[in-house]
Amino acid sequence: MIPFGTRLREAMDTRGPLCVGIDPHASLLADWGLNDDIAGLERFTRITVEALADRVAVLKPQSAFFERFGSRGVAVLEKAVEEARAAGALVLMDAKRGDIGSTMAAYAATYLDPASPLFSDAVTVSPYLGFGSLRPALDLAAKSGSGVFVLALTSNPEGAEVQRSTAADGRPLAQLMLDHMKAENTGASPLGSVGAVVGATLGDAGVDLDINGPLLAPGIGAQGATPADLPGVFGSAVRNVVPSVSRGVLRHGPDASALREAAARYADEVRAAIPRV
């Protein structure tokens, strides 16, 4: 399998680095004139995938918004993953799973085993049961050519009470996690497959983000950050940033052309902010 980091670098270089979230929460369904039911979910997801999967580098479904509809919602998610990947987008499943032992191995199999109906190009995970607890996901991702995005410094203000705390060796806890990620990516070229989640709303991140891997940057758009903020947050690692926007694009639906135009505007803003991209 071609490693995820290699495939992501190629997608970013050819399509631009933008990631668009697929977040079918009730208020967005209502804004689209859709009911908050399985039919609304199906229509929202189908329009979004058809409009964007052939042009953006990454689509990021938020698993919870599908799971809330039970098995029928998960079936919609399975179809979205399949169709998005067939159209050329990399699918990053935003599931933020984190556990230990056999449970973590089961979560890993759900998203990172090619035999799974939810097999994705990458998945988000939480390391705050200890970075070593992620080993089943890291190992399976390496075997299947997938990626793992590890929470480091998130955009929600509550995250600081954990992520900015001091580890036993004196490092900020987020830096400890980033250093683990860097070790996982040692020797990878052009880009490692273990990425970090770092909020674009943070201002100066205050940590070393040079992990030789991708940096998913949520918070663009509705949360207040703009592409112009990215160099200030990510510094010399900015070329590896995957800016993520959800509502800023999705609010333009259900018109497919309007969704495409919104995504294109954000992509152009990213290119202007990061000239090397």
The number of CA neighbours under 13 Å toward the Cβ of 232 is 10
Q: In Å, how far from its chain's centre is CA 35? A: 27
How far is it, in rounded angstroms, from Cα 266 to Cα 244?
Answer: 10
Angle, vertex CA 50, rays to CA 47 and CA 51, nearest 5 = 80
**Active-site annotation holds for 96:** yes
Backbone angles phi, psi at 3, to 5 degrees: -60, 150
How far is it, in rounded angstroms, from Cα 54 to Cα 76?
Answer: 19
CB 53 within 8 A of CB 89: yes
Of 79, 96, 143, 182, which is the active-site residue?
A: 96
Which value, in Å, is the radius of gyration of the alpha carbons in the chain?
Answer: 18
Residue 16's identity, in one-letter code, is G
Backbone angles phi, psi at 40, to 5 degrees: -65, -40
Give the start-end residues of each E strand in the chain.
Answer: 19-22, 58-61, 90-97, 122-125, 147-153, 194-198, 215-220, 241-245
How far is it, in rounded angstroms, from Cα 262 to Cα 56?
Answer: 11
Catalytic positions: 96
